[in-house]
Amino acid sequence: MEHRTNTTGECAAVIGLQWGDEGKGKLVDLLAPDYAAVVRYNGGANAGHSVVVGGERYALHLVPSGILYPDKLAVIGNGVVVDPEVLLRELDGLAQRGVDVSGLVLSDRAHVVMPYHKAEDELRERVLSSAQYATKEQTTGRSIGTTKRGIGPCYADKAQRATAIRAGDLLRPEVLRRKVELACAIKNAMLRGLAADDEAPEFKPAELIAWASGLGKRLERNIKDTTYLLHDLRSQGKRVLFEGANAAMLDVDHGTYPYVTSSSCTAGGIPAGTGVPGSEISSVLGVVKAYSTRVGNGPLVTELFDETGNRIRERGREFGTTTGRPRRVGWLDLVAVKYSAMLSGASGLAVTLLDVLAGLPTLRVCTEYRVGGRTTDRFLPDGDLLEGAEPVYTDVAGFEEDIGGVRSRRDLPPAAKVYLDLIERMVGVRVAMVGVGPERSQTIRG
């Protein structure tokens, strides 16, 4: 991924190629000085990006990682679903730590996560987790394992249109009133059905209108038409960096369906989520953790249940930025990475958390799947099919050395270089950056 002075207003993207938590926030933060704006185009408060600067750790959920630079715009595009309470709480927390948050811009077309969306998310997961929907293989039901933050129900309302509320609606009292009254009539009836014998929450239009209006007033200066904003920046010759939330394996169309999120997480989601044509994206940096993790339900072919898995989890601090849940851990799955790099047209790879693997005598990499007695190097984007896949591993020697201070690929231990060479060879994309520690400075470039 090249970074040079530019006068054509070209765009670049940073995309997660696994199940999220690859370290995208750190990479975006590192690259942000070269761009005028950092733009989120998908997902919601279910995403969590961590950035460590000068020993200070910043956990970002809705706010783009570029917010840590006072001269950059941090843009939340129309493809994001926004919980206004979470957004304001995050902005207030950053401001209290001395971060200039005046560059935050929220699309007037971004959809608003309402309290009834969270209630629906909770009740749906409860129903799906019940024994009524269990199978012989999965005795606890068929829940998706969402973060219960209302993301899916909000995206569903976006598609259903009539009850959807957008950020711009928070500034239009009559439009807001009409939409909330209709939404409450429909949602209250639906929630009673989902709750069955339990008591369902009852949402009152007047209370929700007052709640939403108050939040809208606080966000009024931030709410703008971001589509024209981004095109204006490009026409002025300024560069734009797109920050993907979640990751390709959680993409609603191309991930391990139905154990996915509700948005388009690949580079293909950028045009719809921002209004910027895909033809304007000149480079895509695909971020890959040196091993595999995922949160929630769904298949993880290389999952580890032994002491090695526990060691990686502890050393990598594999606990969700958003949820705090322990992440499931497995060996690196290059079948999945090759597929996701193809989806987003990755022009370079960033391999993060390589330092976490130090001290392991052998490193295993999944290079094929065994399914029904046959092997394949093609990913299976179907949760049920993938459940039956077994990993076929290629083993390489591990490395003992602490690599936290290494700043050049040639100075890495020989075994670590072999590991990176294997990734490049299998995926067919150059490793452009390597993470060797949590700090912004602990990154090998080139």
Residues carrying an active site annotation: 21, 49
Pairing of strands 37-40, 73-76: parallel
For residue 355, what is the DSSP state?
G
CA neighbor of 82 nearest in space, from 210, 245, 240: 245
Q: Which of helix, strand or coil describes residue 83?
A: coil
E-strand spans in 290-436? 292-294, 328-330, 332-333, 348-352, 362-371, 374-376, 390-397, 431-435
| Half-sphere CA count of 164, side-chain side, radius 13 A | 21
- Whole-number Å distance between alpha carbons of 114 and 116: 5
Cα dihedral value 419, 420, 424, 430, nearest 10:
180
CA-to-CA dists, residue 239 to 232, 267, 387, 407, angstroms: 11, 17, 42, 27
CA-to-CA dists, residue 305 to 203, 301, 302, 313, angstroms: 43, 12, 10, 11
Cα dihedral value 77, 78, 84, 86, nearest 10:
-50
The verdict on whether omega for the bond into residue 258 sits within 30 degrees of 0, i.e. cis, is yes
CA-to-CA dists, residue 198 to 116, 119, 153, 192, 249, angstroms: 16, 13, 20, 8, 35
- Whole-number Å distance between alpha carbons of 254 and 175: 35
- Whole-number Å distance between alpha carbons of 243 and 76: 10
Q: Which residues of 237-248 are buried (b: 16+ CB within 10 A; e: fewer)?
A: ebbbbbbbbbbb
- Whole-number Å distance between alpha carbons of 47 and 66: 15
CA neighbor of 185 nearest in space, from 89, 279, 116: 116
Joined together, the tokens standing for residue 215 give: 């939040």
CA neighbor of 67 nearest in space, from 234, 243, 236: 243
Joined together, the tokens standing for residue 366 give: 């999944």
